[in-house]
């Protein structure tokens, strides 16, 4: 057993780097995806998510660094471990005039490790898994976008997988299709499978992920559980008052940092100073306090701070 397996990591990379000519697309990325996690690989377009995923799956060679999937080192053991890894990177080329079932049959027939005698069982099992059994006989071109993406997922679930690597699985889907795919990811996770999914949608990470890694210009700038990311957000106090300048002065005197004021009040970072002490200080200085709040920045503010860019928060 390797260290990654011993650590309970489904994916681990160290110094994973990819250069295209002069451009560094992925810069020394150290991923740690715990077994059983739904890991949101989050970053704006062009930040290096797809390139990282392609390296993890052995679709392109890293310029430097190494990684392990399910405890097996790449590239030596990649061929051995890939049958346990379901991937959705480029959508499979499905035939528009064939049914969903016939398309999966073609895909299954291309898998030399799969026993043809049990093909029907595998195919119907995968269709059922993604909720497409009733529509299995329909032509692919009649499928909605959500159904098409679910069929692609069914294609990666023809054999049981311990790890699923999904590149932007809800990209281009309407709200209904997005819900379908997210529900499916949720049920795969509930079965104990590890899911690594890339996305540029913060809301997706908030809704379905237990862990997140944030990419910015090829670098992994943060990686932790969602709970930790939320907790890392620095709280700020806000005083509502008719005397904002006085309030700001008192906040500074009390030792708050980054103090500023506007027409309706003052704010600052309290650090270790207890909120009740701040209120007492304000009142002692006869600042008329109309309102007092400790505000924690939400995840979006936190991510914008880390990545220096906004996220598409829709979806």
Ligand X SMILES: Nc1ncnc2c1ncn2[C@@H]1O[C@H](COP(=O)(O)OP(=O)(O)OP(=O)(O)O)[C@@H](O)[C@H]1O
By CB under 6 A, what part of segment 202-231 binds ligand X? none
Binding status of residue 199 toward ligand X by CB under 6 A: no
Q: Measured from the CB atom, is 49 or 148 closer to ligand X?
A: 49
Instruction: Return the range that interacts with ligand X (CB under 6 A); candidates 46-54, 81-89, 182-190, 275-283.
Output: 46-54
Count of CB atoms within 10 A of residue 232's CB? 12
Q: Measured from the CB atom, is 23 or 113 closer to ligand X?
A: 23
Binding status of residue 302 toward ligand X by CB under 6 A: no
Q: In the 3-class helix/strand/coil scheme, how is the chain assigned residue by residue?
A: CCHHHHHCEEEEEEEEEEEECCEEEEEEECCEEECCCEEEEECCCCCCHHHHHHHHCCCCCCCEEEEEECCEEECCCHHHHHHHEEEECCCCCCCCCCEHHHHHHHHHHCCCCCCHHHHHHHHHHHHHHCCCCCCCCCEHHHCCHHHHHHHHHHHHCCCCCCEEEEECCCCCCCHHHHHHHHHHHHHHHHCCCEEEEEECEHHHHHHHCCEEEEEECCEEEEEEEHHHHHHCCCCEEEEEECCHHHHHHHHHHHCCEEEEECCCEEEEECCCCCHHHHHHHHHHCCCCEEEEEEECCCHHHHHHHHHCCCCECCC
- How near is the Cβ of 199 to ligand X at its closest, in Å? 9
- How near is the Cβ of 253 to ligand X at its closest, in Å? 46
Q: Which of 15, 20, 172, 301 binds ligand X (CB under 6 A)?
A: 20
Q: Measured from the CB atom, is 60 or 82 closer to ligand X?
A: 60
Question: Minimal CA–CA distance to 164: which of 200, 196, 209, 127?
Answer: 196
If binding means CB under 6 A, how many residues of this protein chain bind ligand X? 12
Q: Measured from the CB atom, is 51 or 223 closer to ligand X?
A: 51
Instruction: Return the range that interacts with ligand X (CB under 6 A); candidates 41-49, 63-71, 77-85, 183-191.
Output: 41-49
Binding status of residue 25 toward ligand X by CB under 6 A: yes
Q: Which of 45, 79, 121, 234 binds ligand X (CB under 6 A)?
A: 45
Q: Measured from the CB atom, is 13 or 51 closer to ligand X?
A: 51
- How near is the Cβ of 55 to ligand X at its closest, in Å? 10
- How near is the Cβ of 51 to ligand X at its closest, in Å? 3
- How near is the Cβ of 110 to ligand X at its closest, in Å? 25
- The residue behind tokens 């708050």 is 256
Q: Which of 50, 149, 170, 307 binds ligand X (CB under 6 A)?
A: 50
- How near is the Cβ of 47 to ligand X at its closest, in Å? 4
Q: Measured from the CB atom, is 19 or 77 closer to ligand X?
A: 19
Task: Tell me if 96 sits within 8 A of 118, measured CB to CB.
Answer: no
In sequence order, which residues have a C-beta less than 8 Å from that of residue 41 and are 6 or more positions away? 49, 52, 53, 196, 197, 198, 199, 212, 213, 215
Helices 119-129 & 100-109 angle (0-180, nearest 10): 130
Q: Which of 17, 51, 156, 307 binds ligand X (CB under 6 A)?
A: 51
Binding status of residue 47 toward ligand X by CB under 6 A: yes
Q: Measured from the CB atom, is 25 or 248 closer to ligand X?
A: 25
- How near is the Cβ of 217 to ligand X at its closest, in Å? 9
- How near is the Cβ of 90 to ligand X at its closest, in Å? 11
Binding status of residue 170 toward ligand X by CB under 6 A: no
**Under the rule (CB under 6 A), what is the footprint of ligand X?**
20, 23, 25, 43, 45-51, 200
């Amino acid at each position: 057993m390797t260290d990654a397996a011993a650590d309970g990591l489904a994916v681990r990379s160290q110094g994973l780097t990819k250069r295209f000519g002069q451009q560094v697309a992925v810069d020394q990325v150290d991923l740690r995806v715990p077994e059983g996690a739904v890991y949101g690989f989050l970053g704006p377009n062009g930040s290096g998510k797809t390139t990282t995923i392609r390296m993890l799956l052995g679709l392109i060679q890293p310029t430097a660094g190494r990684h392990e999937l399910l405890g097996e080192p790449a590239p030596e053991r990649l061929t051995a471990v890939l049958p346990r890894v379901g991937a959705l990177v480029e959508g499979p080329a499905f035939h528009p005039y064939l049914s969903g079932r016939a398309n999966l049959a073609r895909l299954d027939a291309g898998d030399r490790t799969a026993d043809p005698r049990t093909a029907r069982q595998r195919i119907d099992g995968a269709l059922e898994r993604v909720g497409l059994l009733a529509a299995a006989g329909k032509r692919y071109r009649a499928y909605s976008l959500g159904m098409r993406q679910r069929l692609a997922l069914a294609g990666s679930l023809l054999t049981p997988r311990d790890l699923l690597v999904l590149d932007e699985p809800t990209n281009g889907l309407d709200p209904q299709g997005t819900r379908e795919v997210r529900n499916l990811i949720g049920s795969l996770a509930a079965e104990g499978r590890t899911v690594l999914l890339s996305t540029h949608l913060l809301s997706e990470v908030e809704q379905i992920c237990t862990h997140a890694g944030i990419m910015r210009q090829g670098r992994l700038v943060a990686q932790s559980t969602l709970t930790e990311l939320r907790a890392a957000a620095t709280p700020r106090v806000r005083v509502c008052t008719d005397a904002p300048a006085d309030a700001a002065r008192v906040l500074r005197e009390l030792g708050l940092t980054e103090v500023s004021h506007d027409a309706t009040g003052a704010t600052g970072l309290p650090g270790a100073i207890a909120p009740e002490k701040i209120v007492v200080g304000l009142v002692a200085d006869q600042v008329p306090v109309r309102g007092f709040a400790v505000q924690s920045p939400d995840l979006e503010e936190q991510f914008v701070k880390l990545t220096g860019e906004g996220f598409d928060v829709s979806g």
